[in-house]
A and B are shown apart, each in its own frame.
Chain A
Amino acid sequence: MSRVRLICVLAATCAVCLPAESALAQVRAKADVACRPAGTLQYDCTIVLTNSRTSEPLIGVTLTVGADMPSMPMMHNVRPVKADPGPTPGTYQARLALEMHGDWALQLNLAGPLRDRVLRTLRFDPDRVTPAAATKAPGHKH
Chain B
Amino acid sequence: MDDYLVSVLSNIGVISFVALSAYLLLLTGEISFGQQAFFAIGAYAAGIATALWGWPLGAALVWGALAGGTAAVLVGLPTLRLHGLYFAVATLAFAETVRLLFEQFRYQVTVDGEQVGPNGTDGFRGIRYIFENDVGSLQFLGLIYALLLAALAAFVLLERSRLGVAFRMIGEDATLAALNGIAVARTKLLAAGLAGALAGVGGGLYAHLTTYVEPRIFDVMLGVHSLAYGLIGGLGTAFGPLLGVLIDIGLLESVRAFAGYRMIIFGGLVALLLILRPRGLLDERVVHRIRRAWFRLLVRPPATERLNRDLP
Our verdict on whether A and B bind, yes or no, reads: yes
Contact present for A134 and B131 (CB under 8 Å): no
- Report if B48 contacts A (CB, 8 A): no
How far apart sit A64 and B310, CA to CA, in the bound complex (Å)?
A: 66
- Collect the chain A residues with CB atoms within 8 Å of residue B122's CB: 134
A53 in complex: contacting residue of B113, B131, B214, CB < 8 Å: B113
> Which among B4, B62, B215 is the interface contact of A79 at CB below 8 angstroms?
B4
Q: How far is A134 from B61 in the complex, measured between Cα atoms in Å?
A: 27
A18: min CB distance to chain B, Å: 4
Decide yes or no whether B8 CB sits under 8 A from chain A: yes
Residue ID in chain A nearest B136 by CB atoms: A115
A-binding segment of B74-82, B177-185, B216-224, B281-289: B216-224
**B154 interface contact, C-beta 8 A:** yes
**B210 at interface by CB-CB < 8 Å:** yes
Give the residue of A19, A26, A115 whose beta carbon is less than 8 angstroms from that of B112: A26
Q: Is the CB of B216 within 8 A of A70?
A: yes
Name the CB-closest residue of B to A136: B121
A88 part of interface (Cβ distance < 8 Å): no
- Across the two chains, which residue of chain B brings its CB closest to A26? B132
Q: Which residues of A contact B4 (CB under 8 A)?
A: 66, 77, 79-80
Task: Assess whether B293 is interfacial by the CB under 8 Å rule.
Answer: no
Give the residues in chain B near A25, CB-CB below 8 Å. Answer: 112
Number of interface residues of B (CB under 8 A): 56
How far apart are the CA atoms of A70 and B221 in the complex, in Å? 11
Interface members, chain B 41-72 (any A CB < 8 Å): 50, 54, 56-59, 61-62
Count class of interface residues, chain A: 35 or more
Question: Would A22 and B123 be within 8 Å (CB), given that A77-B253, A115-B134, A117-B211 are in contact?
Answer: no
Name which residue of chain B comes closest to A41, CB basis.
B260
Please determine whether B56 and A19 come into contact, CB atoms closer than 8 angstroms: yes
Interface secondary structure of A, over-half rule = loop
Given A7-B154, A99-B260; A139-B219 close (CB under 8 Å) = yes
A11 touches B121 (CB 8 A): no
**Set B58, B123, B206, B256: member contacting A18, Cβ < 8 A:** B58
**Do A115 and B56 touch (CB < 8 A)?**
no
A residues within 8 A CB of B253?
75-77
Contact of B212 among A18, A53, A64, A119 (CB under 8 A): A119
Given the complex, which residues of B lie within 8 Å of A16, measured CB to CB?
56, 58
Q: A77-B8, A100-B260 are in contact. Are A15 and B61 (CB under 8 A)?
A: yes
Residue of chain A at shortest CB distance from B63: A15
Within 8 A of A (CB), among B104-145: 111-114, 121-123, 125, 128-129, 131-135, 143
Q: List 20 A-B contacts (CB under 8 A).
A: A3-B161, A7-B154, A15-B56, A15-B62, A16-B56, A18-B56, A18-B143, A19-B56, A23-B133, A24-B132, A66-B4, A70-B216, A71-B221, A76-B262, A77-B253, A80-B7, A116-B131, A134-B121, A139-B216, A142-B263
What residues make up the interface of A, taking CB atoms closer than 8 Å to B?
3, 7, 10-12, 14-26, 28, 52-53, 64, 66, 68, 70-77, 79-80, 99-100, 105, 107, 109, 115-117, 119, 121, 134-135, 139, 142
Interface residues, chain B, with chain A CB atoms under 8 Å away: 3-4, 7-8, 11, 14-15, 50, 54, 56-59, 61-62, 103, 111-114, 121-123, 125, 128-129, 131-135, 143, 150, 154, 157, 161, 206, 210-212, 214-217, 219, 221-222, 225, 248-249, 253, 256, 259-260, 262-263
